[in-house]
A and B are shown apart, each in its own frame.
Chain A
Amino acid sequence: MSALLEVEDLEVSFGGRTAAVRGASFKVERGQTHCIVGESGCGKSVTALAIMNLLAKGGKRTAKRIALGGQDLQPLSDREMSKIRGNKMAMIFQEPMTSLNPAYTVGSQMSEVMRRHKGSTRTQALDRAVELMTRVGITAPDLRLGQFPHQLSGGLRQRVMIAMALMCDPELLVADEPTTALDVTVQAQILRLLAGIQREMGLAILLITHDLGVVARIADQVSVMYAGEVVERAPAAELFSVPQHPYTRGLLNCVPIPGKVRRDQPLGSIPGVVPTIQPGFTGCAFRSRCSYAEASCASSITRRKATQTHDYLCRLAPGELGNSDLAERQPA
């Protein structure tokens, strides 16, 4: 069976001037979590919006293939797309307050989703809402249904968003930085909840984040994005133990790990800043910050395979990137 979501050679540009996403390809398997990780401006959020066809005005997407469950999404009209959004694929955002309507109660917003997509009655929809709110760990769901979004705490709002996204039994959940605005304790609770729901409902999750800790704990597959390109794709365990792209390794070195820190030692860091990519840019976008860069990095780079499931975009052969300093930081 083919993957649930297939994205091949996705390109997004804004006003023909900035190339936000350049040839991104990845697959999300059924029942798995696929993380897209990268720093701000790397194109990870734009990728998610492009898949949902929610790009801001002026944004243009082209792709060889964007398919959900074998159905090609590209030729669909706005109307057909909106039937799929919230139904077969649902989305949750970083700041739930911006995606919940402050003028309506939680209950009416949740039931509206299901009445629109499934044609359910109000009672059916509200029953389902109560069931899901209990599932996402909201106590006294009947009371919450009558409340307005601003009466809920941040963690509770994100739970409501998750419950709302699950209303129509989606196959794919796209989550854009769902826990970034939350406290660490609440973040762990929400992620644990997502992982539990995924196991139970066989849901596929496309999770967008900048936090490598989140990626390590929840992802099955990881795509690392840099300047609009997917520079490395691998199963999570492999990515963290044998990263092949210098950028991935640089990122890993930047993260302090409790218990592994030597306070007198500086953290690893990546010098310089992310370049702005104009259309027509060739070669490796990371070369200006890479200690392995040489003249050949300015010509176009072919994707190399480290293993059957692990590929990356760099001139270095698999294993050529020394892993000595990384190994030391990895727990036994």
Chain B
Amino acid sequence: MSKPSTSTAIDLRSVRRVFRVKSGMFAPERHVIAVDDVSFSVPAGSVLGIVGESGCGKSTLARLILGLLAPTSGSALVDGRQLFDLDRKARARLIQPVFQDPFSSLNPRQTIRDIVSLPLLAQGTFSSPEIERRVAQMLERVGLSTEQGGRMPSQLSGGQRQRVAIARALVLEPRIVICDEPTSALDVSVQAQILNLLADLRRELGLTYLFISHNLAVVEHVASEVAVMYLGRIVEKADTDQLFRAPRHPYTQALLASVLTPEPGKGVPDVGLGDSMPDPANIPPGCRFHPRCRIAIDRCRSEAPKAMAHSQHGMVECHLAPA
């Protein structure tokens, strides 16, 4: 793996995706803003954690970057090239995914070896002995035996399947891997194995991860920077240590408060969020978090807060956040 040429692996600028939803034949078309004006840049070799509740747009963002969805507007630079203009093969060489559910991310009718060799085959530039060699190497690297390469996905356990998914993502030696909840379908003991494997591979191959998760404990363990998404927007972003030590946005504070660490005697925390659930089809005016915020003032109900940078990588979108 050659050294990355630039220090920035991926640079997203004002990426936005709007879904048009029609609920009935005569109902007016509604606009669901799933991803709203998201910008960030990730230094090569680091891990950006993206956290948020279901429906916050984190998976849509992943699908935009992977090219599974087209953005409504915005741009993304990878390696100095416009990501959204690249064709499938070129994009595949730069970005690969690891999905959440290892039971649906592997084709049940193909052998492990076929699954892992697909990215190489699709490029059309590798000879078959070359493909065979690389696949064997990759399988060994993720901890699978040659004999397991000939099996079908249904013969493997959840953890082994996720290893196959990782092998498939890395066999083309991409620059960026999008991990969309890669361990949330796994058991605790297996989750640790997979997280350790991902960390080893990143160091070894100089990879950059976008690590999407709802599990803040896991994100803290793997990420160097964390972005918190709420209803399609990044409301806070900071270095991991800073974010976990001194969260500035009230939503981040609530998220952190709701993490149940295995510390007996502490009881269940009061997260201090109201019952109203965020609805991407019905984003409140002003600050989008104000209906659930316990410190909201009148200004929050009418005026949307602007992003406020507080350090080199850090920003927060809140009227009341400490500078």
Q: Mark A20-45, 1 if CB is under 8 A from B, else 0.
A: 00000000000000000001100000
Closest A residue by C-beta to B240: A263
Residues of B within 8 A of A191 (CB): 260, 268
Which parts of B256-277 form the interface with A (CB within 8 Å)?
A: 256-271, 273, 275, 277
Verify if B199 is at the interface (C-beta below 8 Å from A): yes
- Bound form: Cα–Cα A153–B217 in Å: 25
Given contacts A185-B53, A188-B271, A216-B264, contact A254 B258 (CB under 8 A): no
CB-CB under 8 A from A212, the residues of chain B are 188, 262
Inter-chain contact A240/B264, CB cutoff 8 Å: yes
Cβ-defined contact, B263 with A258, below 8 A: no
Whether the Cβ atoms of A259 and B260 lie closer than 8 Å is no
Q: Which of A213, A241, A269 contacts B259 (CB 8 A)?
A: A213
Within 8 A of A (CB), among B11-26: none
Whether B188 pairs with A258 at a CB distance below 8 angstroms is no
| In the complex, chain B residues 204-222 whose Cβ is within 8 Å of any chain A Cβ | 214-218, 220-222
Stretch from B98-106, B108-116, B190-198 forming part of the interface with A: B190-198
A250 to B189, CA, bound (A): 8
Asked if A331 is an interface residue, CB under 8 A from chain B, the answer is yes
> Is B258 within 8 A of A236, CB to CB?
no
Within the assembled complex, what's the spacing in Å between the Cα atoms of A213 and B260?
5
Chain A: CB-nearest residue to B188: A254
Contacts of B87 on A, CB cut-off 8 Å? none
Whether a CB of chain B sits under 8 angstroms from the CB of A255 is yes
Tell me whether B298 is interfacial, beta carbon within 8 Å. Answer: no
Partner of B261, one of A239, A257, A269: A257
Q: Is A273 a contact partner of B159 (Cβ separation < 8 A)? A: yes
Tally of contact residues, B, Cβ under 8 A:
49
The listed residue (A153, A188, A214, A330) touching B269 by CB distance below 8 A is: A188
Taken together as a complex, chains A and B put the C-alpha atoms of A257 and B188 apart, in Å, by: 13
Residues of A within 8 Å of B195, CB to CB, are 256, 267
With a CB–CB cut-off of 8 A, which chain A residues contact B261? 213, 216, 257-258
Question: In the bound complex, what is the Cα–Cα distance between A210 and B190 (angstroms)?
Answer: 12
Collect the chain B residues with CB atoms within 8 Å of residue A250's CB.
Answer: 189
B217 close to A257 (CB less than 8 A): yes
Task: State whether A184 touches B258 (Cβ < 8 A).
Answer: yes
A195 CB within 8 Å of chain B: yes
Q: Does B282 contact A (CB under 8 A)?
A: no
Give every chain A residue within 8 A of B54 (Cβ-Cβ).
183
Decide: B275 and A215 in contact? CB cutoff 8 A: no
Report the Cα distance A204→B175, complex, angstroms: 53
B221 engages A215 (CB within 8 Å): no
Say whether A256 contacts B221, CB under 8 Å. Answer: yes
Nearest chain A residue, comparing its CB with the CB of B259: A258
A4 CB–B CB distance under 8 Å: no
B268 is contacted by which of A218, A237, A256 (Cβ under 8 Å)?
Answer: A218
Cα distance A331–B254 when bound, in Å?
21
Q: Does A261 sit at the interface, judged by CB under 8 A?
A: yes
Residues of A within 8 A of B215 (CB): 184
Complex CA–CA separation, A155 to B200 (angstroms): 37
A217 CA / B262 CA spacing, docked (Å)? 7
Q: Among B196, B220, B266, B275, which residue has its beta carbon within 8 angstroms of that of A137?
A: B275
Please give, as numbers and ranges, the residues of chain B lying within 8 Å of A213 by CB-CB distance.
Answer: 217, 259-262
User: Can you list the 9 inter-chain pairs with the closest CB atoms, starting with the nearest?
Assistant: A213-B260, A269-B192, A188-B258, A270-B189, A39-B187, A254-B192, A256-B221, A267-B192, A183-B53
Interface residues of A (CB under 8 A from B): 39-40, 137-139, 153, 155-156, 183-189, 191-192, 195, 210-219, 236-237, 239-241, 250-259, 261, 263, 266-271, 273, 330-331
Beyond the given pairs A189-B258, A216-B260, 10 more chain A to chain B contacts, judged by CB atoms under 8 angstroms and listed by A's residue number, are: A40-B158, A137-B275, A188-B258, A188-B271, A191-B268, A213-B260, A215-B262, A217-B266, A240-B262, A254-B191
Residue numbers of B with Cβ under 8 A of A are: 53-54, 157-160, 187-193, 195-196, 199-200, 214-218, 220-222, 224, 240, 244, 254-271, 273, 275, 277
**What are 24 pairs between A and B in contact, CB < 8 Å?**
A40-B158, A155-B275, A155-B277, A183-B54, A183-B214, A188-B257, A217-B264, A217-B268, A218-B268, A219-B264, A240-B263, A240-B264, A250-B189, A251-B188, A251-B189, A255-B217, A256-B218, A258-B216, A258-B259, A259-B220, A261-B220, A263-B224, A267-B221, A268-B192
